[in-house]
Amino acid sequence: MDNRRFIIRFMILLAILWCTPALAETEFRIANFRAGANVTVAEDEVISEELTLAGANVKVAGELMEGLNAFGANIKISGSVQGELNAIGANIVLSGKFRSKVGAGAANIVLTGIFEDNVEVGAAKITLTPTAVIKGNLNYASAILDRQEGSQILGEIFQKKTAAKRDKPEQWGPKDRKTAGAAHIIFWFLSLAALLVVGLIINGFTPKQTETVVALISDSPWTNMGVGFVFLVAVPVAIVVAFITVIGIPAGIIAGLIYGGVLYISRIYIGVWIGRKIIGYFKKSQISTFFWPFVLGITVIALIGLIPFLGWLFKLFCLLISLGALWLAAWRAIHSKS
């Protein structure tokens, strides 16, 4: 299954949701994206285009004429999906009719529907109920495969096995080192391009938020650094506590994803700030613009980040300042509405 497109779409949507926190309390819809605490496709709904869903609880009872990408703590699909299905979550139950390939990854997966094509799944436990019918192949990776009596697999069954790896660089040959070097360069450019795209989308949706955060970075950098440090340390502790309580696991998963999304998009604002500082020395008219300062700023950060140790410290410094400013901006926005 093609996870890259799905993950990119989800991260973009997550970033948009963070910039508009009030929308996260209800179901948020934009074009073929839906997200929120509880996301549903009703039984009488017919969706004619590919759909992406993200939420704590995702339920699909309607008919999807194209593909479906689903992400959530609990995913239940009892409707019909004509296109390819990609699902990632904690608990996934597939009880509907699936006309194309199905790919899923979770802690627990229950297959109880009818699958016309191949099924590729990975989980700690995979259960095939008596009503499950897989007309294609089953390709699975799991410690436990509970195939109950009555379940049907008309194709072949393949179990994925972990291939032996050469984990230590000392074990790599010249070809491995060249491949790794090329991959690192490609990843560096792709990650920079991805951040550029996400930044343009975030600024397109919330230009005022961008200016507010950038202004806060200029006004109180040291305060921002302190707040950013607290956020960086306190949130993971809270997530761990949520997982310990067991009942808070879904909330912990969502909080962890939001936390990762915030860490990612915080780079946008510090990039704009640094870019404007540099451009301001040469061309004052570009100080208030977004695009070129943003491009310059994130490129400078990425290049300095390549320097061993010093680059890591610089990136941490930028992260803390931008995180603090982003959190303060969100805090003030919430309190101004209350």
Report DSSP letters for 280-305, one per residue.
HTT-GGGTT-SHHHHHHHHHHHHHHT
pLDDT exceeds 90 at position 327: no
Same-domain check for residues 152 and 179: no
Within 10 angstroms of residue 274's Cβ, the number of other Cβ atoms is: 22
Number of separate domains in the chain: 2
Same-domain check for residues 203 and 300: yes
Task: Look at strands 63-64 and 46-47 and give their pairing.
Answer: parallel
pLDDT exceeds 80 at position 300: yes
Within 10 angstroms of residue 109's Cβ, the number of other Cβ atoms is: 25
- Comparing 23-32, 216-225, 228-237, which segment has the lowest mean pLDDT? 23-32
Residue 169 domain-assigned (yes or no): no
Q: The whole model's pTM is what?
A: 0.49
Residue 168 domain-assigned (yes or no): no
Length of the chain: 338
Same-domain check for residues 198 and 148: no
Q: Which helix (H) or strand (E) holds 332?
A: helix 310-337
C-alpha 314/C-alpha 297 separation (Å) is 13
Question: Tens of pLDDT along 78-123?
Answer: 999 999 999 988 899 999 999 999 999 888 999 999 999 999 998 8
CB 43 within 8 A of CB 26: no
Same-domain check for residues 153 and 273: no
Last residue of a domain, one of 159, 182, 216: 159
Same-domain check for residues 23 and 123: yes
C-alpha 263/C-alpha 281 separation (Å) is 29
Report which of residues 286 and 150 the model is more confident about: 150
Report which of residues 162 and 284 the model is more confident about: 284
Range of the domain at 215: 174-337
Same-domain check for residues 110 and 199: no
Residue 280 domain-assigned (yes or no): yes
Same-domain check for residues 90 and 184: no
**Token couple for 203:** 């600024």
Q: Collapsing DSSP states into helix, strand and coil, what is residue 185?
A: helix
Ordered strands of the 152-153 beta sheet: 46-47, 63-64, 80-81, 97-98, 114-115, 133-134, 152-153
pLDDT exceeds 70 at position 171: no
C-alpha 293/C-alpha 281 separation (Å) is 12
C-alpha 147/C-alpha 131 separation (Å) is 11
Same-domain check for residues 118 and 267: no
Q: How far is CA 81 from the centre of its chain?
A: 23
Last residue of a domain, one of 105, 131, 159: 159
Same-domain check for residues 142 and 186: no
CB 74 within 8 A of CB 82: no
The DSSP code for 170 is G
C-alpha 221/C-alpha 215 separation (Å) is 10
pLDDT exceeds 50 at position 6: no
Classify each residue of 34-68 as buried b or exposed e, where b means 16 or more C-beta atoms within 10 Å of its C-beta: bbbbebbbeeeeebeebbbbbbbbbbbbbbbeebb
Residue 309 domain-assigned (yes or no): yes
Question: Tens of pLDDT along 120-143?
Answer: 998 889 999 999 999 999 999 888
